[in-house]
Structure 1
Amino acid sequence: MKYTPVQYKVNATILIKSEKSGMLSELSAFEDLSIVKNNNKEVENEIEILKSRPLFKNVVKKLNLNYQYFAKTKFSKRLVELYDNTPIKIIFKEDSLIVDPFANFIISIHSKNDFTITEEGYDSIKNGVFGQVISTRIGSLIINPNPDYLDSFIENEIFLSIKPVMDIVEDYKSRVSIGLVHQDANVISLSLNTTVKAKAKDILNGLVEEYNIDAANDKNQIYENTASFIKERLSIINTELSDIEQGVEVFKTSHNLTNVTSETELFLERSSENKKGVLETNTQLGLVDFMNEYLKENKESLLPVNLGFSEESIIRIIAQYNETALRRDEVLKSTTLKNPIVIRLNEKLQSLKLSLKQSLDNQKKTLKIKLKDLQRQDSVMNAKIASLPKKERELRDIVRQQEIKETLYLYLLQKREETAISLAATVSSAKVIEKAYSSKNPIKPKKRIVLLAAFMAAFLIPIMILFFKDLLDVKIKDKKEIQKKLDIPIVAEIPNTNTKGNFIIAKDDRSIVAEAFRIFESNLKFLLSESNNQTKTILVTSSITGEGKSFISANLSIILADPDKKVALLGLDLRSPKILEYLNLESAKGITNYVSDKNLNLEDIIINLDNIPNLDIINSGIIPPNPIDILKSKRLQELFVKLKSQYDYIIIDTPPINLVADPLLLADYVDLCIYVVRLGYSDRELLSVPENLYKNKRFSNISILLNDVNINSKKYYGSPYGYGYSKPKSWWKF
């Protein structure tokens, strides 16, 4: 929590204006002019527009987000981004900057005037002065100081990271979350997680601003296209109207015509309603012809609106066509013509254009029928006016054409003004409900969750380690495991010696190990009390090597060698003898030499110890090619007979019984088998070996000896009592 950057969540909320809350509400004063209505847009489409790369690209360029400034914190030395508090600002000369640059600079500020700039990965170091041009690998730049913050960064380093614009666009496009606040509302929420709150606020506010600019441009494009259409038609109608008016003037002048007679006025008043219908019908026919001609000449442009068609289906199709065209153009900003969405929109545009042409053709047929009927009625009126002079009738025809053109001209002038008002009064598509604001408390790291997780981990991790360690540990840990599985008595528990070398008991030794061997001696006498043999033969074996057979055999022999008792230690591990090595004695002839060489006597293979006069060592001798033959030989039987006649105790050190069958061949000579189990070393699965020996009575008497017992464990009684030996723990040990 100390070194992790603190992150905040910045949010903004906007309302996508519907038809009722859009442009019509702002332009209610002009409702009588029938200004273009704002089309409802699906909010999902607007979300995709907000997510578009062109909008993000405009924001990145406007805010220079591809230039990032960093400084190291005082204690953690991690990089922290500087935004509005940066002591310097970088300005690149556009004509020298390479396309999509990528570079990292280290700027060391020495004073209020000078600095040193180094590009990471390059050895060149340049000295510079604030405000002067410096040439770099990616272009020429000017570093300007920010006096408000420069003093606190003197003699410090500023890290400048320059990345391609599109890399930053992709980064923020993936980080800014845009979605509906509620499924049934037109409100969109924008959010961004950041370590720099001011920067995130500028990004979200800038994104909304760019969206409104883009939407306004779309609306203006329709109005500008409509204005261009009206201007073109006004020029044509103006020319035609001028020609007709000039023709009226010429006709009156050449035929000396003045005002129409009172009789003619009477007839014309009666036919005024009919003429009004003719004018309206001709106006609609003119609009149909204008629109058909526009469709032929402008295949991809937006269609003009608010021309005053009387047919509602034509108005609706034009509106749908413009909306679809705008949506296609918006999609084309970030994709190509081969995009399935673009293809589908183009197909829809063609379908709408065909529908519009069909509607125009149908409208034209309807208007012609109506016009034909009106002309029929007009012919009736003309018959009544037949009494009028021919020239008067000819003048009326010319005047009628003049009125038609004049009406259409005035109509287009009105529409031009309406379009100009709409263009000037274009409003934003999105209303900002809440500008970008930051959460008061950081969202990352969450201190309570981190502390709780750390507190739980402090308990769970050790418990899991201990659990799995115990689960995967197959070694025997304490006496209770043996007592649960075996009914064999435990003759002794020998503690660990805590010595690096071989441990040999001295006669005056008062250590805990020596006392354990003396207890071992007492228990042996109890176990061997039922034996009828005067000489007690004890065999020491185990399951695998390394469990301490030689250690037990040697030290047991020393303990038993009292002034009144003679002890012989036999090394009958003929495969890997350890007795002489353990007692630090030189190699000598032994049992294998005695069996193979009948000239040798027992005295020739006995090794006497000066410091322990009643203990004799008989080595195994040279390693034979087949130890089984040695153990089965009569010579070995004779050896045991001689030994039993001279010694009170015979201790036999043998190889592991789980690996070879050598100890079983000596069962006939043995009064007691000591099976050594080393705690923390012996595998608990191997306890089946002494169990089978005991159940099958392979030895007349068998006992378990626990070796390497940890006396400091809570399962034992701790330090020895009353023997003058107790090594205290160091104060730092738990």
Structure 2
Amino acid sequence: ISLYSSEPFINEIAKKFKDFLIEYNLNKKMKKFKNSKDFISRQIENYLSELDNLNYKIRQIQMMNNLSLDDAKNPILNELFEIKKKQTSLVFEIQSLNDWLKNPYDENEIITSDPVIQKAITNLLIFKDTLNILLVKFGNSSYEYISVYNAYKKLKEDLKQKVIERIKNLQSQLNLLRKNELKLRNELSSTFETEKEAITLISRKKAIEDIITVLSQRMEEIKIQEAEIVPDFKILEFTEKPYIEIKGRNWLRNLIFSAIFSLFLSVVLVIIKNYTSNVIKELDDLSKFGINKAYIIPEISDENYLPLTILKNRDYRKIIEGHIYLESFRIVVLENSLNNLKLFGITSSIQGDGKSYISINLASTIAMMNKNVILLDCDLRKGDITEMTGNSKKLGLSDILSSNFENLIYNYLENLFVVPKGLTFIDPIAIFSSNKFDEFLKFLKDKFDVIILDLPPILRIAETKIIIDKLENFIFVLRINLTPTDNLREAILRISKEKIKVYIANGFDLSTSYGYKQKYYYISR
């Protein structure tokens, strides 16, 4: 929307702002395409590198053993290559169809050789375009729109059924191919070991060549889409001279108002500065407390790359992308062997440092490593883990004195189990100082690979000290720009430094950090 003013410089600013909007919108779209192209380019690069290694190994085997692996001279080998090629094609199509079933919005993403499905997609896209026209012309409550929309829904349901049937058909074909492959490999079992190795390498080589071809085609499709992008908004022009001219106000009054406002703003800034100067603002501040190494967990803006979300959606392909949100948790686990540590607790100095968020994502990270993990919500007052996992109406830790241990454990996600805070209102000290709690921990040690306790904050919560005395390993969580330095100092004094295995700096702003482009996102001195 354009702005009219009698002042030329204001009109110039309005024009620049309009140009900026268009450029920003286009850059946002271009960034999406750039990310896709960069990802595909990295994949192609990796596969080409693997292809070079395979060619080198194959040549070495042929030269050292004087082997001839000509497909024409070995019909069984030739048939095995064809089977591998078909298997790669079928797996790729099944993956494409399954992805669409999970997110059935863009039919253009479906890659299939089935003419029936291709025809159904074409019909569905025609109906979708028709709906857009009817929406603009008549609105979404018109008879014409509703009639076409109902037909569109039926077509989409039919397409889903066809896709499901196609996946079943492809799975059957794939199983048959695998049986044939096994049969052919058995026929080749009488050959030398070196020849078998060469056959495996060549099969892998052909499969990789097919994958590179598919990725290259996808790259070309993205380039075509990128060339066709346009801004997805329209700027309306209403540049008419206003009926009423606004005269300038008294300059003395403006000057007095500016002085008062400046004074008020200065006072506010001083107050804010005094408040924030007593909190942990950067990693260098930690060295004052004898903390020489802290792992960074960045400020999250996209929950799709968190370990909890990936485990919940079983979207393990995101691990390959190496996103910083996921990798920051994986680095903490692997560099400190948390996946092999039987029992440890996670705590912080005060409420709000994000310890429960860290707890459930570390537990999800370890669960993805094929370990059976159980997470105990020991914060019986607040119970964040209980709320996150949707177990607020189930038995839990507070019911330990009167319930069977098995009844307190719930399978939340794959390899991830939880013990919620429970339903009984009782003094937490009575729970954690009881023999039943010790017996429960011993019971869990026999059943699970890793046991994680999400503890209450150390300061101003009495029962935390009881649990600290029972455990040998802790993770201490602090939050950048939130954890007060005095509270951090007092909390560390209450736990023996030998027990703190890991320090985690949560909420780190990487956009202003010198470590933003480093491979590992922690600081070690």
The TM tier, using the shorter chain, reads 0.3 to 0.5
Q: What TM-score do the two structures reach when normalised by structure 2? A: 0.44
Hey, which of these two has a bigger chunk of helix by percent? 2
Larger radius of gyration: 1
More strand by share: 1
* TM-score after normalising by structure 1: 0.32
Greater RCO structure (CA 8 Å; 6+ sep): 2
